[in-house]
A = this chain, B = another copy of it.
């Protein structure tokens, strides 16, 4: 089996080989090339490829659907950046800021079309299962994003609702990557369901860890300034957990969050989180989803030595403080 970094390198070169930048009309395809060349961890195609590899499937043939998942992921970023009015991503202007809103919408739509074209490059025998898995996943991602936006105007979001939202918005795509890897390798429905469970819980653990890092992490490791979530009053795992504690504690947290955005708000809210021991319970929650993911991976029946990459991905994505 290959190492994670080797798959990522292969994904990069397969993306370049698509030659998207030379397609016309340029106004449509230049933003797509810009988005896809930005790099990133390529976790989603890597997860699909390593799953195929672990089950002895045809890794080379799986590159097309693996790229499809990566292109889909980047499509969601284009649209999310418009909806969230985001200016930068991966240290560059977003497509939305660089090419304008219309380009971000329409090039995003086109990326979805390109993604599905890649997804269809699978044998006839599994085409329907692959496309149905992809389709269900896509709608779940949109439902997750809709809930995320609904939460912005609500102050009574429970931790369970929050976890359900990130399961849809982040977990579903990772779940589908592992599941489709299984489908392509001839795994039965039960094993595919376990693979999906691995990916979903990996995604949940990853997002909760991300919430923790945004407040308690180190900006060098995290790659973003610390305190962004607090400054944007985002409904994170920390915040919704705090708001579902005692009325008194919730009130203090709400007041802290209503301070003007800036250092004072970040410091105050961080101190409240610490006083409520939310930093620990947040890490604990991430660990418990990480453990669920590992349990699901083991339940696929893969021999121990073939679980290494599944473990590595968990450590890398949900243990980023180390």
Min CB distance A232 to B, Å, is 16
Whether A105 and B106, one on each chain, are in contact in the complex, defined by CB atoms closer than 8 angstroms, is: no
A25 within 8 A of B: yes
Residues of A77-133 whose CB lies within 8 A of B: 79, 82-83, 101-102, 105-106, 109-110, 112-114, 116-117, 120, 124, 127-128, 131-132
Min CB distance A199 to B, Å, is 19
Whether A146 and B106, one on each chain, are in contact in the complex, defined by CB atoms closer than 8 angstroms, is: yes
A143-186 vs B, Cβ < 8 Å mask (1 yes, 0 no) = 10111011000000000000000000000000000000000000
What CA separation (Å) do A146 and B30 show in the bound complex? 12
Contacts of A116 in B (CB 8 A): 116, 131, 135
Nearest B-chain residue to A105, judged by Cβ: B79
24 A-B pairs with CB atoms under 8 Å apart are: A25-B146, A27-B149, A28-B142, A28-B143, A28-B146, A79-B106, A82-B102, A83-B101, A83-B102, A83-B105, A83-B106, A102-B149, A106-B145, A106-B146, A106-B149, A109-B142, A112-B112, A113-B139, A113-B142, A116-B116, A116-B131, A116-B135, A120-B131, A124-B124
Q: Can you add 7 more A-B contacts, CB < 8 Å, to A117-B139, A120-B128? A: A25-B143, A25-B146, A25-B147, A82-B105, A106-B146, A116-B131, A116-B135
Min CB distance A96 to B, Å, is 11
A138 within 8 A of B: yes
Min CB distance A160 to B, Å, is 15
Q: How many A residues touch B, CB cutoff 8 Å?
A: 33
What CA separation (Å) do A79 and B102 show in the bound complex? 9
Contacts of A132 in B (CB 8 A): 120
Binding site for B on A (CB under 8 A): 25, 27-28, 79, 82-83, 101-102, 105-106, 109-110, 112-114, 116-117, 120, 124, 127-128, 131-132, 135, 138-139, 142-143, 145-147, 149-150
Nearest B-chain residue to A25, judged by Cβ: B146
The secondary-structure label for the interface of chain A is helix
Kindly identify which residue among B101, B135, B142 contacts A106, using a CB–CB cutoff of 8 Å: B142
Whether A110 and B139, one on each chain, are in contact in the complex, defined by CB atoms closer than 8 angstroms, is: yes
What CA separation (Å) do A154 and B5 show in the bound complex? 46
What CA separation (Å) do A59 and B132 show in the bound complex? 23
What CA separation (Å) do A225 and B200 show in the bound complex? 52
Min CB distance A313 to B, Å, is 27
Min CB distance A163 to B, Å, is 16
Contacts of A106 in B (CB 8 A): 79, 83, 142, 145-146, 149
What CA separation (Å) do A138 and B139 show in the bound complex? 18
Nearest B-chain residue to A124, judged by Cβ: B128
- With A106-B83, A110-B142 already in contact, the answer to whether A120 and B135 are too (CB < 8 A) is yes
Contacts of A149 in B (CB 8 A): 27, 102, 106
What CA separation (Å) do A27 and B154 show in the bound complex? 13
